[in-house]
Structure 1
Amino acid sequence: MDSTLLKGLMVLERVVAADAPVGVSALARDLGLPKSNVHRTLSSLREAGYVGYDADSRHYYPSLKLAQMGNRIAARFPFQTALLPLLQQLVSGTGESAHFVYLDGESVMFACNALPPTSVASVIPDNLTLRWDDTAFGVAIASALPDHAVKSLLGAAKVDPMARARLDAARAEGVAVIRRHDTRRIFEIAAPVRSGWDTVIGAIGITGPAMRFSEDRLEVLQQAVRDFAEQAFAETARLRQADRKTAQETEKVTGS
């Protein structure tokens, strides 16, 4: 592998993962790289249109080009192939429908769903889009976002008055809960899924008919969803660690 390319990707990933625009010194410290290398890499990324630059603060941030690329990938990513086996495990453990959802602007999209083998179940179609505040999955994602992103979501027009309270509860408990949705007549339990790159990639959770919801089951279902989100995080962290190990080994080979 090209060690220069790998360094560039490491820098870009760190810029994307940062909660705010970040400077050369912070990046160099976090990545253990010389400032001159980081500055040179950022200059190349800026020239290619992958990062922007704030001249006043001398900090770098992800460009609109990256956001557009991410949207295109999300629209075409084979979620069914990648996530359906995991969701089926969650269905087996809870007896309820399982879903993976990702944030798209001020909305969330149900990218992948799995149903339990029962005649009475919550059915949510693939690619259904809802306002983030209209579902526990959107609240779960928002609960793990940086403060500036949450402020932007809460500042949008027509936000559900209950959104802030649900958001606070989700942050405290690590899981968002809607006991009975007024329109869909289902209960929803969801937790944010983090990546090994310190970012939130979506939310995973379950839904079921409101008539089947029970406070006695709530704690067990909440824990199941939390555990599953942690498993998803552990897998992405493992992949991230493997990438770092490969980069380090490549660095040794090319440097020798």
Structure 2
Amino acid sequence: MDKAFIKGLRLIEALALSDQPRGVTDLANALGLTKSNVHRLLATLIAQGYVRQVPPQSHYELTTRIWELGSHVIRRMDLTRIARPAMARLAEQTGETVHLSVLDGSEVVYLDKIESAHHIRAHTSVGARAPAYTVATGKAMLAQMPDSYLDRFEGRMQRYTDTTRITLAELREDIRIAREQGHALVPEGEWREGIAACACAILNRSGELAGAIGMSGPDSRIKRKQLREIAPLVMEAARAISLALGYAPRV
């Protein structure tokens, strides 16, 4: 059995399960390794593109390389195929663009979408990314994560529009409301100007976050009242996908 390989895997697991970047001393203590050993393992993982250094404290976190490998597993599970019927139904019900997203650290990644037939509509690309704190699918997924998960945004929140949340306190309030309502609303674009959106998290067989489904369109057409009326449709779509993934709601 290759002991160095096992140590590297344990280091990857420690970083993957951490809510924030970790330092060498912290990792060495947690894994029962010497700091020089951890340094060597990190250097190898950085060289291979699996880990990056986070300034200014010289802490470390995983890159999306692990996610890219995991995405092949996700594709085998075929979340996109399972979600398609509910996405199509929601697109027909609302007449707006529907997205399927997953959470990757502090970003959302768009796995699939069904475009609105309207000439003026929300534009995104499959495979594109957006800061999770700025979009409805991101907020819906963050609402499923522990409070400590939000700490990663401290000091890293940028303004993209006039309505972008740029403080952790503002984000925590949005997440509190999303948890309370069971869905996330973005009435005025926080990532892109002029986009209104509603989203709900999708849960898997274990009751854990699998992704999110969201509807978006121009805020000139979708006012707050319309968003509130659309929210139950988005929640029903998320529920249908969750059930198809094997999720069993608590009675």
TM-score (norm 2): 0.62
Distance 1:153 1:173, change over 3 A: farther
Q: 1:157 corresponds to which letter in structure 2?
A: R
**1:110 aligned residue:** 110
State the shift of 1:220 in Å.
1.8
1:21-32 to structure 2, matched below 5 A, reads: none
Q: Distance in 1 between matches of 2:209 and 2:220?
A: 32
**1:72 aligned residue:** 69
SS at match of 2:200: strand
The count of residues paired between Structure 1 and Structure 2 equals 180
Of 165, 174, 179 in structure 1, the residue corresponding to residue 182 of structure 2 is: 174
State the shift of 1:138 in Å.
0.8
SS at match of 1:158: coil
Q: Specify which structure has the higher proportion of helix.
A: 1
State the shift of 1:210 in Å.
1.1
Cα deviations across residues 158-183 of structure 1 (Å, max 9, x unaligned)? 26223222111101101111111153
CA RMSD in angstroms, aligned pairs only: 2.9
Q: Distance in 2 between matches of 1:222 and 1:200?
A: 19
Unaligned runs of 5+ in 2: 1-16, 19-29, 33-60, 159-165
Q: 1:72 corresponds to which letter in structure 2?
A: L
Of 202, 205, 220 in structure 2, the residue corresponding to residue 193 of structure 1 is: 202
Q: 2:154 corresponds to which letter in structure 1?
A: G
SS at match of 2:125: coil
**2:215 aligned residue:** 206
Tell me, yes or no, if structure 1 residue 226 matches structure 2 residue 235.
Answer: yes
Question: Contact between 2:82 and 2:241, CA under 8 Å: does it hold in 1?
Answer: no
SS at match of 2:127: coil
SS at match of 1:211: coil
Structure (1 or 2) with the larger CA radius of gyration: 1
SS at match of 1:91: helix
**2:152 aligned residue:** 153
Distance 1:80 1:235, change over 3 A: closer
Q: Distance in 2 between matches of 1:69 and 1:130?
A: 18
**1:125 aligned residue:** 125
State the shift of 1:214 in Å.
2.1
Question: Contact between 2:87 and 2:98, CA under 8 Å: does it hold in 1?
Answer: yes
Q: Distance in 2 between matches of 1:156 and 1:197?
A: 33
Q: Distance in 1 between matches of 2:175 and 2:147?
A: 12
Distance 1:129 1:188, change over 3 A: same
TM-score (norm 1): 0.61
SS at match of 1:237: coil
Q: Distance in 2 between matches of 1:120 and 1:186?
A: 11
Question: Contact between 1:79 and 1:112, CA under 8 Å: does it hold in 2?
Answer: no
Q: 1:173 corresponds to which letter in structure 2?
A: Q
Identity rate, percent:
18
Q: Distance in 1 between matches of 2:223 and 2:188?
A: 11
Cα deviations across residues 207-242 of structure 1 (Å, max 9, x unaligned)? 00110122332222111111111111111126x8xx
Unaligned runs of 5+ in 1: 1-18, 21-52, 56-63, 241-256
State the shift of 1:69 in Å.
5.3
Q: Distance in 2 between matches of 1:153 and 1:68?
A: 19
